[in-house]
Amino acid sequence: MTHLPNKNIYLLGLGALGGLIAAKLHDAFPDSVKIIADLKRQQTIQSGGLTVNGKSISFQFIAPGNGHREADLIIIAVKNAQLAQAIQDIKSFIGENTMIISLLNGISSEEIIGDEIGHKHLLYAYGVGMDAVRDNSGIRYTNPGKIVFGEKDNHELSERVKFVKELFDKAQIPYNIPVDMNRALWSKFMMNTGINQASAVLKAPYGAFQVPGEAYDLMMAAAKEVMELSAHYGVNLNQTDVEDFLRILATLDPAGKTSMLQDVEAGRETEADLFAGTVLAMGKKYNLHAPVNEMLYRRIKSLK
Taking residues 67-74, report their average pLDDT: 87
pTM of the model: 0.85
Helix (H, G, I), strand (E, B) or coil at 136: coil
Question: What would the pLDDT profile of 227-259 be if each residue is shown by its tens digit?
Answer: 999 999 999 999 999 999 999 999 888 998 998
Handedness of CA 80, 187, 138, 198 (dihedral sign): positive
Mean pLDDT for 163-184 is: 95
Give pLDDT tens digits for 93-147. Answer: 999 999 999 998 878 888 899 999 999 999 999 998 888 888 876 899 988 999 9
Phi, psi for 129 (deg, rounded to 5): 85, -5
Q: What is the mean pLDDT of residues 69-76?
A: 94
- Dihedral sign computed on CA atoms, order 93, 98, 101, 107: positive
Alpha carbon distance 289, 141 (integer Å): 37
User: Which of 125, 119, 83, 80 lies closest to 102 in space, CA to CA?
Assistant: 125
Res. 2: pLDDT tops 60 = no
Instruction: Please choose, from the candidates 256, 127, 146, 98, the residue with its C-alpha nearest in 3D space to the C-alpha of residue 188.
Output: 127
Phi and psi torsions of 70, nearest 5°: -65, 150
Burial bucket for residue 122 (CB in 10 Å: 0-12, 13-18, 19+): buried
- Rounded-to-integer distance, Cα 220 and Cα 252, Å: 17
Mean pLDDT score, 165-188: 95
The CA angle 35-41-45, to the nearest 5 degrees, is 75
What average pLDDT does the chain have?
92
**Sign of dihedral through CA atoms 236, 242, 247, 253?**
positive
**Residue 56 bridge partners (DSSP):** 51
**Strands, sheet with 175-176, edge to edge from the N-terminal-most edge strand:** 60-62, 33-36, 9-12, 73-76, 99-102, 122-130, 144-150, 175-176
Q: Is 190 in a helix, a strand, or coil?
A: helix
214-232 vs 291-302: helix crossing angle, rounded to 10: 120
At 3-42, the pLDDT tens digits run 555 789 999 999 889 999 999 999 999 999 999 999 898 9
